Structure 1
């Protein structure tokens, strides 16, 4: 006998309750049954009780206050009047109800399968391996719900009903089966999940106009709530959400890649546009950012606004490209400057060499000596090309080269001066204040070391010898004066230390020079001063200073004679100068 049955996905197939066969095509000998179903109820229920139907069409009763529900008709209610109507419907045997089911609380699990009458009941221990084998043979995995097992296996496998009165035990067996799955089964379930993911994401892609990379899961559920793969799938909500987030992530990456390509294209076009305004390869002064914005960028320029690709760019993007071009232009200008500097280096060096030759050109009357000044040669070279070519050159200037030449001559003169000083020592030259330069010049001319020295430089050497002599004498005199001052101060300090604790009037004889001379004549301070008159003068000077000190200390007013200090007196607040405001 053929029956219409629906699987977990809502697909209709046909099942033969006698041969246990199932097929998708409608059998030729299939006959639809006319099943009476309850369509209306006339029930006089107690107060606060209401009637309702389950999804399977079964009638139950619930209390709106206590929230209690039951299959039986509440007590003290009148007899139910049933108005039957005959309709043609295709249902599974689990959905065929009877009026007697209304009063049967456990009818959900009893009499649901037509195989129940042929099953021999057994103990749970004996039924466990058979029940697990049934799950394995039917390829039950984690994607199955327990209600699917009831609907599909309960209608065609007698092993499901080996334990009839304990659905909780069957649920426990189902959980145990899932816990003890083999690796092969887990891989298969993973494959099933992947199949769901692929089908689910294909469904989402068909709704590309409604679901974008910005759509949240909450909004997406509302859009796909009527899709069979979402509403009838036993895959957990967590996996569905995970698959959705993976799909959204893919959309986000595609959007980012598309945006990135558009931005790259826009930047390429922007660079080409900016290069028409900023010439990187030239050395002209580029436009400033302010000038560029006011005249050629954004809403201030029609050509810029006409390019649709530029709308994806921000001002920061445009500024960055401007900075990059300016940096490129700066590098180009530095490289150009380095090339020009390298080219000018040899020219600068050539110009300096030519000017050095000019300074040694005796045909123009230019002779550089140790005493030559810039004002001496400037009139001779001011119009010469070698001098004019030095103007604006890098490196040493014409004045620097002139000073270098004078310095070289002075070094030569210093060497000759040292030789001349040794000649004077060897000849026991006597210094006098009458024209020592002429005498030295005449003496040096007779020496073979100075045969190659012209008269001008020889006189310069003699002048330098005299100058060095005068500086030496001056330094020696200053040193002697310093030593003499030190001796005088030491002598005065010695006298001061000795007489500082004595009063001037206490013993006048001890304050006499004769007494002091006898007292200090063996001291180093006394012997360092050779002049007796100077010693006595210094002694009298110290005594005079000490007398003034003693007199001052005696005439100094005491603290009691001083004007008393009034403390605590407040300062007058009256202004010394009248204010004019």
Structure 2
């Protein structure tokens, strides 16, 4: 409450208020006399004091309102000061009271009021003061307990970290196995504080240690990879140097085979050092070197062919003639003799291959024309199997198939095959005629036997054709075997060393080689298809020929008793 002051009369003083401070003091005395406190409003106060004489102590309404607000602030400050003084005096007493009961950190004012209801100090304090002092005391208790818990937890975590590092925990150890190892350790069992630690804390310590192990493992793995990469790079460089020596000595050329080179390389230390290393294998590096030689020869061949204007190399061209052409073109100084020899071998090999292919195609066409003439002769009715070639020639010369053949020897071959085959068919047909006259069962057996003989005959023809085809394709098979031996295992790992600047060029070369292999496969498939078609045509013609022969035999069986064997109808063979 406002402090006691000198009595101020509620009436207007004689002579008025000499100073503004006196007038303000008189106005505040009026407010105190009317019981105004900090809860009053200005409107409420105006209605209460407006009829009092001291209301006019201050001249303006603003001064009166300012004095009113100052009066309320003074009341608030006095009460706050009294409250603080009282709490400062009661707080030590309350602390002793709380400690004697004792009060726990979780107790509230509802618990403390019944305990201290008879204490005069407790009754002296205001309810909010009691609650405030109690909250401060319980808050301090909670702070102490939390600090103790944190210290205990920190101690347990530190001991647990030391325990985990002493156990056999590796980077591959799983959490469940690690947890069993921790809780079964003697140090963990003997320490009561460690036994009270939370599982989440154990997991956190283990997780930190596991991350440390993973970082160490990654660092070690990175170091080993770098070391292995360095060793592999040095091993590749050593093997490349060995291949360069072989190229210089002529042991490695563009036409070399890996199976031949590996016999010389497998005892070399450079080859042994590269085995099992990451990156390119010895086969990859060897194929790179062979491809480089082949590309060098290809480029040199293109340049020489462009320089040799007016000169065209054939299969009969010798190496000396080729060398003379190069000297006449003044290109002998641009290429060393070994490279010129490789270029000659490359061009000569291509020309020989082209000539062989052309010869095979011509031979195939010749065989087809002979077979066409042989099949066409079956439709000429006046040809007797006892005729000679000269006697039958007038009967055949009007055939288109005869005109398509230009070589007389091929015509004679076709006629000889025709006569031979027709005589074989007659020999096959005669036993079946006799058997059919004797017994139906015997005739059926003979027919089955003749069918098997015909199957054997067809199989023999196929074998002859396959043998003929194998002889014709022997050169091609040798070339294919050489190409397959050289270009097999062309699939490589995509990983290449950072210093191999020609990786893109080698990939393009591999694509070209695969295209060449695909073209060769297509050509082989086409040739196989042609052979199958030719075989099918021949089998169909042979089948139709047998059908015609059976048709020719049927009427003869019916009239065998009416005419003799020599009475052959016109058109029968």
Relative to its length, the structure with more helix (as a share) is 2
Relative to its length, the structure with more strand (as a share) is 1
TM-score by structure 1 length? Answer: 0.44
Higher relative contact order (CA 8 A, sep 6+): 2
